[in-house]
Amino acid sequence: MDIPYTVDPRPDTGLYNGKLGMWLFLASEVMLFGALFSSYVLLRVNALDWPRGADLLNVPLATVNTMILITSSMTMVMSWAALKMNDFGKFRKMLGITIALGTVFLVLKGFEYGDKFSHDHFPSTSTFYAIYFTLTGLHMIHLLAGIIVCAWHAVFGKRFWEKHPEQFTNRIEVTGLYWHFVDLVWLVMFPTLYLT
Amino acid sequence: MSTENIQQQVKAHQKIYVALLVLTLVSAGSVMAGVSAGTTIILVLAVAAVQGLLILLNLMHLKEEQRAMKGLMALCAFFIVFLLVTTSIAYRDTIAGTDKLEQPAAQSNHEEGH
């Protein structure tokens, strides 16, 4: 039995199943990160003394990381566009660059964490570091999940693409939605933690 | 969607990509240039809001979705605003409560001094 609306949009929502599911998942993710950002605001406004992120964290490195993540969003769009134009080779190349950029982000973040740990700055050090490690750690886990999904599509996607090209393109579009969301979360996190 | 439409969309996304990079540099630059803390907070949060909208509406294609999806995202935004407002109210309550608790203690200290 074929599952309906894997390719064509449902008439009531205007979305195919995967896209509707992803939007609902992202809505739940907004609740998760929204609650953490609210916790950050509550902790910050209640604190007698709150350090300025720019004084404690590496702003130039975080700026480079932000630009890397924005670039990865662009290559993600280009990988989807390549599939729309029936060019699987270009899709693989663009998705490969996306994965590489995501990995570079994680490696740079690892260096940043390493630097903090070498200076005895742990989540238990202060409330600032507790919320910093919680927010950035959760974001890193999300990015890692995105990299794994992208790698799966890049390595094992060829056969599915040959059988169901439209459904595979939709899967990449949905993966792209998730990737852009992770990028968006970082774009809020970067000024909140590092610049204010 | 035709190949021409896809290429046009990619070109539009490339412009957004450049805008996102420039806005990131503006945010980071304001901190490195030593702009005052108050101005920095307003500037970087405004830039983040613009960047978020650019991604949400264009890269995530929310502007092309039906009203139900836009409503869902509006509901999420409302949730965050609701959380922020309630936490702010909780903060004001704490301050009011602290004042009430501290006043008698301050008075007794004053009496002990005499």
User: Which DSSP string corresponds to B29-55?
Assistant: HHHHTT--HHHHHHHHHHHHHHHHHHI
Average pLDDT, chain A: 93
Confidence of residue A5 (pLDDT cuts 50, 70, 90): confident
> Residue A27: which residues within 8 A CB-CB, separation 6 or more?
B72, B73, B75, B76
Q: Is the pLDDT of residue A156 over 60?
A: yes
> Residue A121: which residues within 8 A CB-CB, separation 6 or more?
A56, A129
Q: Is the pLDDT of residue B100 over 80?
A: no
- pLDDT of B94 reads 62
B67, burial (CB in 10 Å: exposed 0-12, middle 13-18, buried 19+): exposed
Average pLDDT, chain B: 81
Say if residues B24 and A70 touch (Cβ distance below 8 Å): yes
| Main-chain dihedrals φ then ψ at residue A60, nearest 5 degrees | -60, -40
Chain B residues with beta carbon closer than 8 angstroms to that of A71:
17
Chain B residues with beta carbon closer than 8 angstroms to that of A176:
59
Tokens of A92: 């693989």
A112, burial (CB in 10 Å: exposed 0-12, middle 13-18, buried 19+): middle
Chain B CB within 8 Å of residue A63 CB: yes
CA–CA min distance A65, chain B (Å): 11
Does the beta-carbon distance from B76 to A85 stay under 8 Å?
no
Say if residues A168 and A48 touch (Cβ distance below 8 Å): no
By Cβ distance, the residue of B1, B21, B84 closest to A38 is: B84
Chain B residues with beta carbon closer than 8 angstroms to that of A10:
none
Query: Of A56, A91, A187, which to mutate for an interface test with B (greatest number of B Cβ within 10 Å)?
Result: A187
Say if residues A95 and A73 touch (Cβ distance below 8 Å): no
Would you give the distance in Å from CA A175 to the centre of its chain? 10
Chain B residues with beta carbon closer than 8 angstroms to that of A90:
none
Does the beta-carbon distance from A78 to B10 stay under 8 Å?
yes
- pLDDT of B96 reads 57
Q: How far apart are CA B14 and CA A77, in angstroms?
A: 10
Does the beta-carbon distance from B45 to A191 stay under 8 Å?
yes
User: A27-63 burial, b for 16+ CB within 10 Å, e for fewer?
Assistant: eebbeebbebbbebebeeeeeeeeeebbebbbbeebb
**Residue (of A158, A132, A143, A134) closest to A56 by Cα position:** A132
Nearest CA in chain A to B8: A81
Chain B residues with beta carbon closer than 8 angstroms to that of A78:
10
* Mean pLDDT (whole number) for B60-85: 85
Residue type, A112: E
Does the beta-carbon distance from A183 to B83 stay under 8 Å?
no
The model carries a pTM of 0.89
**Per-residue pLDDT reduced to its tens digit, A39-81:** 898 888 888 889 999 999 999 999 999 999 999 999 999 999 9
Q: Is the pLDDT of residue B106 over 60?
A: no
- pLDDT of A10 reads 83
How far is CA A174 from each of CA A31, A129, A153, rounded to the nearest angstrom?
Answer: 19, 33, 12
Say if residues B52 and A188 touch (Cβ distance below 8 Å): yes
Instruction: Tell me if residue A148 falls in helix, strand or coil.
Output: helix
CA–CA min distance A104, chain B (Å): 17
What single-letter DSSP state applies at residue B39? H
How far is CA B100 from each of CA A14, A25, B96, rounded to the nearest angstrom?
Answer: 56, 44, 7
| Main-chain dihedrals φ then ψ at residue A164, nearest 5 degrees | -135, 75
- Contacts A–B by Cβ distance under 8 A: 127
Percent of chain A past pLDDT 70, that is, above it, reads: 99
Q: pLDDT: is A79 or B81 the higher one?
A: A79
Length of chain B: 114
- pLDDT of A122 reads 96
**Per-residue pLDDT reduced to its tens digit, B18-43:** 999 999 999 999 988 888 888 888 99
Query: Of A31, A65, A66, which to mutate for an interface test with B (greatest number of B Cβ within 10 Å)?
Result: A66
Candidate ranges A152-166, B2-16, B92-106; pick with highest mean pLDDT: A152-166
Would you give the distance in Å from CA A37 to the centre of its chain? 16
Q: What is the CA radius of gyration of chain A?
A: 19
Instruction: Tell me if residue A91 falls in helix, strand or coil.
Output: helix
What is the ipTM metric for this complex?
A: 0.91
- pLDDT of B114 reads 47
Does the beta-carbon distance from B28 to A195 stay under 8 Å?
yes
